[in-house]
Structure 1
């Protein structure tokens, strides 16, 4: 199966290397994206530019499984909204889709036109409990500042057929029960309206493609059956 792997904030497609290798071994055709603004350093890149790049990958694939990590869960949902008939399933790893009108990822400040990787202090706890010093160093070394126009971009969702696409929440540093509670509390309106939501528990932190890449690949493989 074609599988589109979209990295979260500060990450390039290289973060998926080990997961993609295992997916190929399992018979799939993974494509790991390095999004505009991270591949070329263009600070003027916008969220729309990243959506367009992800759509190119969707259009070149055959009804793919679209996987978004962390903030890119919203990007995966955006391309599903734009191509509801072309996406077989959306898998969200450690993240949730923003609703229409919300900001893409307005969490850390924009500095000189970009959002730099803030270091590990904001992520201490369950997010990073499974990352040793070497893994943290590798992730930090590969982190690329994200253009401010991406992080502060406004999410626009227009096609309600997105709610018919099956969605799987892969739960690393939180549990399926946590997510169900957040949905019940009204915190995740897009998931509340989705008609086919399933959950996969993964015992890891926020970056399972680094800490347990083969296990993540096997979870994704199970979603293609």
Structure 2
């Protein structure tokens, strides 16, 4: 066994909407080659074999994160949590519940959410789930994705559970803002993201309240785990050992 595995932080990779652990395959391989122990998660509600997946909530997802962090840190190893896109919501809940559980959080084209927020509070209660829309209707950049990437995305995407879409999160622990944080900005330059945060943009406002924040620019589209996996892994590893 490579002894560096025991000295480097363990890394937990959390995918965004419609995605499972499989989305991180290339990045996970690169990180393991760098000596990290890596866990890629499929959040509750995104497992196609779960018969109750459309009932899963953000609380269910945060519980799964707690379990994964506990397992990864059982031997005393530091844990770095990596959140892509919509995974910023359950990660924010976890950090509110236990801000000392991890050594750093890395947001990939994502960020923390604010108290009282929901991804879509108006998501119709009679609608069980949200399927991946046509690509031309996505409010996110597909830059850098190949036809093969797009085909796999379409074939393997799992609908988002409605309860997780609607759930309003309640965050009360100010210490969550002290957790060392890195934002890897892909779709927009980090300078633009911080301008949005300081202007009170609904999706970015909480970022302005972080007290230990590092910004990294990795220009590409919203899914860098496919468009620039080696570069993303390098950025995650560098942040993890900082």
Same fold (TM > 0.5)? yes
TM-score band by shorter chain is over 0.9
Asked whether the equivalents of residues 172 and 204 of structure 1 are also in contact (C-alpha less than 8 Å), the reply is: yes
Matched, 1:137 2:129: no
User: Could you state the TM-score of these two structures normalised by the residue count of structure 2?
Assistant: 0.87
Q: Which moved more, 1:59-68 or 1:198-207?
A: 59-68
- Identify which range, 89-98 or 103-112, moves more after superposition: 103-112
Alignment: residue pair count: 224
Q: Is the 8 A contact 2:196 2:205 kept in 1?
A: no
Pick closer, same or farther for the CA change 1:182–1:41 going to 2, 3 Å.
farther
- Rounded to whole Å, the distance in 2 between the matches of 1:20 and 1:130 is 19
The residue aligned with 1:103 is 118
> CA separation in 2, counterparts of 1:70 and 1:207?
9
Structure 1 counterpart of 2:90: 75
Distance across 1 between alignment mates of 2:12 and 2:178: 19
8 Å CA contact retained: 2:121, 2:168: no
Question: Is 1:196 paired with 2:194?
Answer: no
> Is 2:53 the partner of 1:37?
no
Per-residue CA distance 1:163-199 (angstroms, 9 max, x = gap)? 1111111001110111111122122332111101111
* RMSD over equivalenced CA pairs, Å: 1.8
Structure with the greater alpha carbon radius of gyration? 2
Q: Distance in 2 between matches of 1:91 and 1:3?
A: 10
For 2:213 and 2:125, locate their aligned partners in 1 and report how far apart those are by CA, in whole Å.
34
Gaps of 5+ in 1: none
Residue in structure 2 matched with residue 162 of structure 1 by the alignment: 176
Listed as ranges, the gaps of 5+ residues in structure 2 are: 1-8
1:67-121 Cα deviation digits (max 9, x unpaired): 1101112222221222211111111111222211111345876774111111201
